[in-house]
Structure 1
Amino acid sequence: MKNLYNKILISTFAIVALACSSEDDLTEDWIEVNEVEAPAPGTSGDLDLSSYIAIGNSLSAGFADGALYNQGQENSFPNLLAGQFAVVGGANFNQPDINSENGFNSTFSDIDNGVIAGRTILDLSLQAPVPTTGELIGSYSGDKTTLGNFGVPGMKLGDLETPGYGFPDVGNPYFTRFAADPNTSSVLGDALAVDRTFFTLWLGANDYLGYALAGGQGDEPLTAYSSTDFATDLGSALTQLTANGSEGVVIDLPPVVTLPFFQAVTWDAIELDAATATELNDGLAAVNTALQGTLSAGYDDSEDIARRLISYSEGDNPILVHDEELVDLEPYFDNLEAGMAITAQERAALVPYEQSRPLVDGELVLLSAGAILGTEADGDDTEEDTPIGVVIPLGFSFTEAANGDQYFLNSEEQTAIVTARATYNGAISATVTSLNDAGADIALVSVQPLFVDMLGLDAATATALALPTGSADGVQGIEVDGVTLTPDFAPNGVFSTDGVHPNPRGHAIVANEIIATMNARWNASIPSISVLEKLGVTFQQ
């Protein structure tokens, strides 16, 4: 049982070991093997690329591996685009450099106890992402008047015009560090103060991603911001950005439930041998008996009780979770004790199962659960095992205030996320069309076909996720120069180790999608980026 966590990680991170002794050796070897000739110069066509600005969230900022750090910024898709723009006469691109090798990782940091974590890397010996030593978020000391990248991690579309969004100790610290005046500036206001002839805007994903990352707890992120408000805010921003005649690109929103963060740990990640399964079933038999006993103690939903029963077998088994949407069986367990069907001690042992059930196929487990599954809920190494997700429900805490189902998404929550994304994408498309009809010159780049192709979705699955079916070939991965790149954070993956943000290869793929659209719309021949020249996931042995 104590090896369960390692088994989960090994099955979660299917990693191929490479003969590299360190991260630096890997970088040097990769660059040496994958050197390519410089692309032939192209033309900017009908575009003026002399001054480019990018507006967005963490995707535009270059946030990756759970942190904003040097290498991530250098490989952000706006910075990669600017490099290709320079080939056709574009000017230098000024980013608000973080000047940190590893950045700051809020997930793994414990500031009160002096633990400052940085970006995560894949440790091949553990076959899991592990944090590096990081630094607190520092201020940008460069020239704020010529900034080009206004990507702010965590920013929602509705935050774009918020004055004082970077207000110290209250606002977004990633904007505080480079805002012209953190007390009064808005992100859009600072961006509009910079000369621009071309822009990219990629915003809106955080308006439903936050709900997904929280395991669907609370519906405020999905209901408070209507599609009408979304379209109004987007239209306002784009109207101001194009008022001086600038052309631009707007990127639509990705299907976040398909990201590795929601796919790496499966619903049936509890791998057991026959002997352990039998031992667990014997130990949990009293729980099943009490659950069934509630039907004679005032509870009248036999179907609900049936889905709560726990049964393990050899092989892969569903994770046992706390589900706060279930009817609380507390009063019915109390009735069993009052009727002397169970003792006070037995009643106390039933507390974790008042709102628990095994997951079912189709439910999504968050990557953050991977570090918890199989660990001891009681926090000790006594002979009595209490592994989380097996004996004690994932999400349950012996401190009542900490209970919650923040580690998985049920089907209803997934549907809400898919619907929100589809609704916002509809607003994006309609807003861009309306502004173009009024004389603007904005190209819409859709990343949705790319996801369908890379994920290898069939037409039925793509339709269920409100995605286009044109590229639904059922074959996972995309081929780039003879190499198949996968939708994960394995060595040939295109995502960073946080399971949400692209790695350098992923950013290069996005940049190439944008370049292809620009070339077609504006008669340009901007050269594409060599994807395989970029590093994939960073790891060490």
Structure 2
Amino acid sequence: MKKIIISTLAVSALLFTTSCKNDFDTDVKDITVTSGEADFSRYVSLGNSLTSGYRDGALYSSGQNESYPSMIAGQMKFAGGGDFNQPLMPNDTGGFTGLPGFPGKLNLQVVNGSLSPVESPAAAALDNISAGRPYRNMGVPGAKSFHLVAPGYGSLAGLATGTANPYFVRFASSATTTVLADAMTQTPTFFSLWIGNNDVLSYATNGGTNSQTTGGVTTYTAATVQTGNLNPATYKSNDISDTNVLAGSIKGVLDGLKSVGTTKGIIGNIPDVTSIPFFTRVPYNAIPLDAATVQKLNTTLYGPLKSVLTAYGQGDRLNLVAVGNNPVLIKDNKLTNLSAQLTAALVGAGYPADQAAFIGNAFGQTRQAKQGELILLTASKVLGLDAITNQPPTASSQFIYGASFPIGDQLSLTADEVGKISTAVKAYNVAIKGLADSYNLAFVDANAKMKDLDSVAGITWNGVKYTATFVTGGAFSLDGVHLTGRGYAIIANEFIKSINAKYKSTLPLVDPNKYTGVKFP
């Protein structure tokens, strides 16, 4: 259960071609390339990891060279576009030695007979390449909307307090500047802005865990955002940003660019983050059980626990398991904590006190996952392991993650948490579309395109089909969140089509099939 197994049949599907309709049927490759009403001579892109070219859990040089803005800039060169300098990492592995939480990229390796993504050690220490400015790609992995207007986000000293980001520290013009300010100094003639994904993604990828009592949302007024008075001590990293924060921050970026004469550009909305492989790869009922295991679990665990829970009106938390696929055991911190009651009942049933306490504490807020709830990709590292040893189970193992012991709260999203994410994404996208309209900018419905990828039909280019299926779908990288070069090409084409429609330009589309996908050993 714990490994991400990729079969040879699935791998061969990557090479399969289909006669489905080409989703990019508005290509202008046979038309004379012009800039139309736009000026592409100084194109600057702002955003987060999706803008930087981040993939496979890291930022590394070859991935940056396949960022969607660099693809767009390459097409802009046919219409008077200038050079597009990027703050390239010093190697093709990524990560920062000496900085916890910044490993190198994931690689597919054969582990115990199956292919699994394996993390690489970080390749080099944090470097400073500010002397190479100006950098046209201002995408900063990890940035939320308000980070683009936050002074000190590129301060080396700020790394210790959590107010800075090493990826911006690398190329910021000073310790006090903002991402926006460094973009403004370049007086762009055209810009792209794709921001807001992280304002809800960090909450989602951490299983809805946060430090707030308000359901994961911290509220600020738009005026507070615009004056830069966001307090990092109260705005926690895993919170869902209030819509005022996102809208106020994006407005601040647009106003800043407008103040230096940059009025033409394109802005994208954000996808429903729960439709990407990080949240869809592991099904809610990922526990396969045979008849002998079913009988053992129902007799020794599920039956006794359900009896106690029923006595307290909580019997719906657990149902007896059956042969076949069964729901994963998850923690739900909204449930009444019945640890003490379960422990006492188990002691009364003859369990040793220490074992009763262990089970009672584990199951105090535990239930089976339900259809529509999400098990995170990170759960695949523990599902099926012995919960005591964190090793593959033996015949004597009693507590197995997912089957007879709950996975951590940070590894799943309950229906309530999924609802909060969906509500935030919808509100963000209404705000982003409103800003695009009010500032008369081109607009990309990235949310709709991600839904196309997540559909059964997917997206095709010259007979090659792309979907949101983990690894074998071709569009998403090994981290399940960020795209491959081919996936970024799909997004680049959406930006190009919207630019052409808005500004009457005729930039040619890129060919996703020419870029790299997941690399197999």
> Which bin holds the TM-score, normalised by the shorter protein?
0.7 to 0.9
* Counterpart position of 2:252: 236
**CA gap 1:412/1:148 in 2 versus in 1, 3 angstroms:** same
The structural deviation recorded for 1:365 is 0.6
Amino acid in structure 2 at the alignment position of 1:212: A
- 3-state SS of 2:295 partner: helix
Amino acid in structure 2 at the alignment position of 1:414: V
**CA gap 1:448/1:176 in 2 versus in 1, 3 angstroms:** same
* Counterpart position of 2:200: 208
1:263-278 matches, within 5 Å, as 263-278=280-295
1:179-198 matches, within 5 Å, as 179-181=172-174, 183-198=175-190
Amino acid in structure 2 at the alignment position of 1:52: Y
May I ask how many residue pairs the two structures share in their alignment?
472
Amino acid in structure 2 at the alignment position of 1:10: I
Q: Does the CA contact (< 8 Å) of 2:130 and 2:170 recur in 1? A: no
Cα deviation 1:424-480 (Å, max 9, x = unaligned): 1111111222233xxxxx111111221222222xxxxxxxxxxxxxxxxxx431121
1:5 and 2:11 aligned: no
Question: 1:91 pairs with 82, 90, 98, which one?
Answer: 82
**CA gap 1:513/1:116 in 2 versus in 1, 3 angstroms:** closer
1:148 and 2:147 aligned: no
Q: Does the CA contact (< 8 Å) of 2:130 and 2:172 recur in 1? A: no
TM-score (normalizing by structure 2) = 0.84
- 3-state SS of 1:121 partner: strand
**CA gap 1:110/1:216 in 2 versus in 1, 3 angstroms:** farther
Amino acid in structure 2 at the alignment position of 1:71: S
Q: Does the CA contact (< 8 Å) of 1:165 and 1:175 recur in 2? A: yes
The structural deviation recorded for 1:514 is 0.7
Q: Does the CA contact (< 8 Å) of 1:103 and 1:137 recur in 2? A: no
* Counterpart position of 1:122: 108
Question: 2:322 pairs with 288, 307, 313, which one?
Answer: 313
* Counterpart position of 1:292: 307
Cα deviation 1:306-344 (Å, max 9, x = unaligned): 3224x3322211111222222111232354368677552
Question: 2:421 pairs with 389, 412, 417, which one?
Answer: 417
- 3-state SS of 1:279 partner: helix
Question: 1:494 pairs with 475, 493, 500, which one?
Answer: 475
Question: 2:150 pairs with 135, 155, 162, which one?
Answer: 162
**CA gap 1:409/1:367 in 2 versus in 1, 3 angstroms:** same
Question: Matches of 2:280 and 2:248 in 1, distance apart?
Answer: 34
Question: 1:355 pairs with 361, 365, 381, which one?
Answer: 365
Amino acid in structure 2 at the alignment position of 1:489: F
Question: Matches of 1:137 and 1:337 in 2, distance apart?
Answer: 52
Question: Matches of 1:511 and 1:340 in 2, distance apart?
Answer: 63
1:394 and 2:394 aligned: no
Question: Matches of 1:203 and 1:349 in 2, distance apart?
Answer: 44
Q: Does the CA contact (< 8 Å) of 1:96 and 1:140 recur in 2? A: no
**% identical equivalent positions:** 35
Question: Matches of 2:500 and 2:45 in 1, distance apart?
Answer: 18
TM-score (normalizing by structure 1) = 0.81
Q: Does the CA contact (< 8 Å) of 1:320 and 1:390 recur in 2? A: yes
1:178 and 2:171 aligned: yes
**CA gap 1:61/1:313 in 2 versus in 1, 3 angstroms:** same
Amino acid in structure 2 at the alignment position of 1:5: K
Q: Does the CA contact (< 8 Å) of 1:210 and 1:221 recur in 2? A: no
* Counterpart position of 1:52: 43
1:70 and 2:52 aligned: no
Amino acid in structure 2 at the alignment position of 1:392: F
* Counterpart position of 2:411: 407
* Counterpart position of 1:364: 374
Q: Does the CA contact (< 8 Å) of 1:454 and 1:487 recur in 2? A: yes
Which consecutive unaligned segments of at least 5 residues does structure 1 have?
21-37, 396-404, 437-441, 457-474
The structural deviation recorded for 1:393 is 1.1
The structural deviation recorded for 1:13 is 10
Cα deviation 1:488-526 (Å, max 9, x = unaligned): 333442011100011101110111011111111111111
Question: Matches of 2:509 and 2:182 in 1, distance apart?
Answer: 30
Q: Does the CA contact (< 8 Å) of 2:486 and 2:512 recur in 1? A: yes
Question: Matches of 1:339 and 1:384 in 2, distance apart?
Answer: 24
CA RMSD of aligned residues (A): 2.7
Amino acid in structure 1 at the alignment position of 2:388: D
* Counterpart position of 1:508: 489
- 3-state SS of 2:120 partner: strand
- 3-state SS of 1:79 partner: helix
**CA gap 1:382/1:226 in 2 versus in 1, 3 angstroms:** closer
Amino acid in structure 1 at the alignment position of 2:139: G
Question: Matches of 1:537 and 1:290 in 2, distance apart?
Answer: 44
Q: Does the CA contact (< 8 Å) of 1:208 and 1:222 recur in 2? A: no
- 3-state SS of 2:33 partner: coil
The structural deviation recorded for 1:279 is 3.2
Q: Does the CA contact (< 8 Å) of 1:57 and 1:202 recur in 2? A: yes
The structural deviation recorded for 1:196 is 1.1
Amino acid in structure 2 at the alignment position of 1:118: G
**CA gap 1:307/1:19 in 2 versus in 1, 3 angstroms:** closer
Question: Matches of 1:269 and 1:350 in 2, distance apart?
Answer: 22
131-140 or 525-534, which deviates more: 131-140
Question: Matches of 2:8 and 2:154 in 1, distance apart?
Answer: 37
**CA gap 1:14/1:344 in 2 versus in 1, 3 angstroms:** farther
* Counterpart position of 1:518: 499
**CA gap 1:407/1:294 in 2 versus in 1, 3 angstroms:** closer
**CA gap 1:345/1:178 in 2 versus in 1, 3 angstroms:** closer
Amino acid in structure 2 at the alignment position of 1:237: V
Cα deviation 1:44-81 (Å, max 9, x = unaligned): 11111000100000011111000000111000001111
The structural deviation recorded for 1:142 is 6.0
The structural deviation recorded for 1:172 is 0.7
- 3-state SS of 2:133 partner: helix
Which consecutive unaligned segments of at least 5 residues does structure 2 have?
16-27, 220-240
- 3-state SS of 1:127 partner: strand
**CA gap 1:60/1:337 in 2 versus in 1, 3 angstroms:** closer
Question: 1:482 pairs with 463, 470, 477, which one?
Answer: 463
* Counterpart position of 2:453: 454
Question: Matches of 1:251 and 1:408 in 2, distance apart?
Answer: 28
Question: Matches of 1:294 and 1:415 in 2, distance apart?
Answer: 26
Q: Does the CA contact (< 8 Å) of 1:277 and 1:313 recur in 2? A: yes
1:376 and 2:386 aligned: yes
- 3-state SS of 1:479 partner: strand
Amino acid in structure 1 at the alignment position of 2:371: D
127-136 or 10-19, which deviates more: 10-19
Amino acid in structure 2 at the alignment position of 1:289: P
